[in-house]
A and B are shown apart, each in its own frame.
Chain A
Amino acid sequence: MSAIAHARRDRWISVAVFLSLAAVWQLLSVLYPAEAAPGEPMIAGWQVLFTNTFLSLADYWQGGLGVPSVAEGADRSYLAAFLSVLSHSLDTMGRLVIGLSVGGLVGLILGLAVSWARWTRRLFDWPLQFLRTLPLLAMVPLFQLWFGTYFIGEVMFVAYGIGVIVFAGTVNAVRNVPQIYIDNARSLGASRWTLYRTVILPAIFPAMRSTILLSLGAGWGAVLGAEYLGAQSGLGYIIVYAQQFAFLDRMFFIALLFILYTSISYWAISKLSARLLQWAPLSQRA
C-alpha cells in the first residue's frame, strides 16, 4: 500500500476507534441505569446527554439578556442552557487567552532581555531553574490568597505559569541559535539591536514552537485547576460544582466540551505555527 493510502486508512481507523468508544459508552448507559438524582443518570446515554443533560446546564445561567435564570424560578430552556454553556466557556477561554498573552509576552521579553549577555544569563539561571521546578498546580492557593478567586486571580495564575515556561523556553532557544547566523550578521555590520530584531527573533521561532504548544497545554491545565479551586464561573467551576452532587452526566458533558476546545485549539495553533515555519529545515521544526 502506498504511503498516502496508509494515511487514509489510519484516519479511518482513528474514527472507528472513537465511534466504538462512543458505542461502548452507550452500551454501558443501558447496562447501568443508576441515577444520582431523578433525571441525572450516572452514565448518560448520548440521547440523554444532548437533551436532558444539556437542558440541566441552564441551571448555571445567571440571568440577563432577557432570559431569566432558573434560580429566580424560571423553567429550564434550551436557550438558557445554550447561553449558560456559552458564557461559562467564554469565561474560561477568556482567562486562558489573557493569561497566555500576558504571560507569553512578559516571558518572551524577559527571556530576550536576560539573553542579552552571557553574564545576565548566568545571573538569572538559578532563580529561573528554581521557579521552573516549583510545581505550578500546587501554587493555586497562593495565587488565590494574593489575587482572590475572581477573574484576576485565575488570569495571574495562568500568566505566571506560562511566563515561567516561556521565559525558560526563550532563554534556551536564544542559546541554541547557531552561532554562525550571529557571526554572519555581525560581520555584515549589524548592531546589537538590529541583530535581535532581524536574526535572533526569527531564528528562535522553530524552537519556540514546542514552547508555545507546551504553554497551550499548561495553560488549559492551569485555568482548569484554578477554576476547580474556588472560581465562581467557568467550565471548571461547573464540573466541580456538579461533582459535589455526583451529577456525572453534567460533568461528562462539560468534559466532552472541554476536550473539544483543547483539541481544536491545539490543532489550530499547531497548524498555524507549522505554516509560519515553512522556511525552517525539517529538523528544526520541534
Chain B
Amino acid sequence: MNAPNTSRMIELVHVNRSFKRADGQAVQAVEDVSVAIREGEFVCLVGPSGCGKTTVLQMVAGLLPPTSGEIAVAGHEIAGPGRDRGMVFQKDSVFPWKRVIDNVEYGLKCRDVPAAQRREIAQTYLERVGLAHVAKAWPRELSGGMLKRVAIATVFANGSQVLMLDEPFSALDYVTRHQLQSVLLDLWEEGGSTARRTVLFVTHDVDEALALADRILVFHSGRLIDDLAVTATRPRTTDSLLMPEMVAIKHKLLAHLGLEKPTAPLKVARS
C-alpha cells in the first residue's frame, strides 16, 4: 500500500483544544501541539493527570475535533472516527450484550466482511491473545485483564493502520499488566518490522513507557514539552531497563513529572 508521505503517518500541526467548564470558563486542554509520527513507530504519551495526553489521543481518533490546527493521518486530514484508527479505551469497551467472538468480529462486520471470513480472522486473533477457550463466553464472565485482551484482539482483527490505547492497563494488577504488555508487543511485532502498525499509547507509568516505546512524548499542562527517543533494542528485558541510556531517560521523565530534581537543564522540544 503506497500512501503519500508514509514517513509521516500521523501529523499534528499547531493543534489546540479548549473546553468550556460548567460555569462558562474556558479551559485549554491542549495547547499548540505539533508533532510528526512515523509509520510503524510505537509512541508513548506520558505526563501527569490532566496534561492533555488523553485529549490528544481522542483528537487523533477523531472522537473530538481540535479547536484549531490540523491533524492528518496517512496524508489525509481526518474528519471523525474511522476504521483506519482503532482504539482501546481505558474503560471496558467490550459490548456486554455480545459474546466474546462476536465482539472481536464487530469491526469486520461493520465493513461487511462475509461471515465465514470474519469468524476465521476473529478466531485467529483470539488464539493469539490466548482466549480461544472463551470465544463463546459473555463478557460479564471475564476478568478485567481478559476483557482488555478481547479489546486488543478486536482492534488487531480489524486491521487498523493506527492503534491508539488510552491507559489500557492502568486498572490491572502488576502481573496482569506485564502479561498484557507482552501480548501487545507480540501482536505488534508480528509480520516483521516492515508491517508494524503505528501505535499511540497513553500512560502515566514511566516504566511501562520505557518497556514499550520507540519514542516518548512528554506532556504537561496541555503542551508537548519533550520528545525522547528510546533506542534500546527489543525484546526489552529487566536488564535493558538498567542500561545507562535507559536510566538517563527515566531520570528525565521523573524530572518532567516533578518527582525528581533535574540533573541537567531540561530541554523543551520545539515544534
Contacts and interface: CB of A to CB of B under 8 A. Distances in A.
B114 interface: no
B112 interface: no
A279 to B, nearest CB: 24
Contacts of B22: 2-4
Q: In this complex, which of A2, A4, A5 has the most chain B Cβ atoms within 10 angstroms of its Cβ?
A: A2
A3 B25 CA distance: 11
Interface string B183-209: 000000000000000000000000000
B109 to A, nearest CB: 35
A3 B24 CA distance: 8
A282 to B, nearest CB: 16
Interface in B6-40: 20-24
Interface residues of A, number: 4
A177 to B, nearest CB: 26
Interface in B21-71: 21-24
A4 B24 CA distance: 8
A5 B24 CA distance: 9
Interface in A95-147: none
Interface in A1-26: 2-5
Contacts of B23: 2, 4
Contacts of A2: 20-24
Contacts of A4: 22-24
Nearest to A2: B24
A5 B22 CA distance: 9
Contacts of A3: 22
A3 B22 CA distance: 5
Contacts of B20: 2
Contacts of A5: 24
B203 to A, nearest CB: 29
Nearest to B24: A2
Nearest to B20: A2
Interface in B85-112: none
Nearest to A6: B22
A21 B269 CA distance: 62
A8 to B, nearest CB: 12
Contacts of B21: 2
Contacts of B24: 2, 4-5
B23 to A, nearest CB: 6
Interface in B160-182: none
B27 to A, nearest CB: 12
A4 B20 CA distance: 12
A21 to B, nearest CB: 31
A3 to B, nearest CB: 4
A9 to B, nearest CB: 14
B108 to A, nearest CB: 38
Nearest to B23: A2
B62 to A, nearest CB: 24
A237 to B, nearest CB: 49
A184 B258 CA distance: 40
A211 B20 CA distance: 38
A6 to B, nearest CB: 9
Given A2-B23, A2-B24, 6 more contacts: A2-B20, A2-B21, A3-B22, A4-B22, A4-B23, A5-B24
Interface of B: 20-24
Closest 6 CB pairs of A and B: A3-B22, A2-B24, A2-B22, A2-B20, A2-B23, A4-B22
10 contacts: A2-B20, A2-B21, A2-B22, A2-B23, A2-B24, A3-B22, A4-B22, A4-B23, A4-B24, A5-B24
